[in-house]
Amino acid sequence: MDQYALTFDAFDKMAQAYQDRYMDLDLYNDTYDAFCALLPQPHARILELGCGPGNITRYLLAQRPDYRITATDVAPAMVQLAQQNNPTATCQLLDCRALDQLTEQYDGIVCGFCLPYLSQADCAKLIHDCAARLSDAGVLYLSAIEGDYQQSGFESSSNGQHKAYVHYHQEAYLREHLTRSGFAVAELMRKHFNKPDGTPSVHLIFITRKAAPAA
């Protein structure tokens, strides 16, 4: 089983524990507000990648019940929880690495902490795929754990029963690929967060807009 399969299996098995720990975390609410501020139009179509138990989708719908959200995750147990927590959203299985298989266009895409579980190459592809799925002037929310990519490796869950391969990413690399894919960074935020073992970490949050084609 490769590192991705092991990580995805871990998230499927600890879905309920993840919900119990993070569902009501309000640390990032101001970043979601910034995303919403760039999407004032009614009935905006939103795609969430790596939705987990649906905590971000739930917050977005609490602020903007008119949003039409499709929330996706690679873990079946996460999708089930997300649908229970968001009965008005469409929740379905999707590996974000297969985003290029979708054909729909969206006004906004939220990718909250998929990147810690993707290699640099897969992050670059994901950013490119998001650009293809966004309408002109569409908004992309992207978050990652900041750090030296060479320090990436397996880390244990808080109960020590599961392991996930965690990738660290740097602002310069992500910004480069956002620019290459036609995104302009509207806001860059950093949040300090302690990992399950108490080790401090810094989370990068990019809120970007896809450039409209030249007239």
> Count of CB atoms within 10 A of residue 100's CB?
13
Which residues are registered as beta bridge partners of 56?
none
Residue 85, pLDDT score: 98
The pLDDT of residue 215 is above 70: no
pLDDT tens by residue, 46-98: 999 999 999 999 999 999 999 999 999 999 999 999 999 999 999 999 999 99
Give the C-alpha separation, 86 to 99, whole Å.
22
Mean pLDDT for all residues in the chain: 95
CB contact set of 42 (below 8 Å; sequence gap of 6+): 66
**CA 166 from centre of chain:** 14
Are 73 and 82 within 8 A, CB to CB?
Answer: yes
Which residues are registered as beta bridge partners of 165?
154
pLDDT tens by residue, 178-206: 999 999 999 999 999 988 778 899 999 99
CATH topology of domain 3-210: Rossmann fold (3.40.50)
- Which spans in the chain are helix H? 3-13, 15-22, 29-37, 55-63, 76-85, 120-133, 171-180
* pTM value surpassing 0.85: yes
Residue 87, pLDDT score: 98
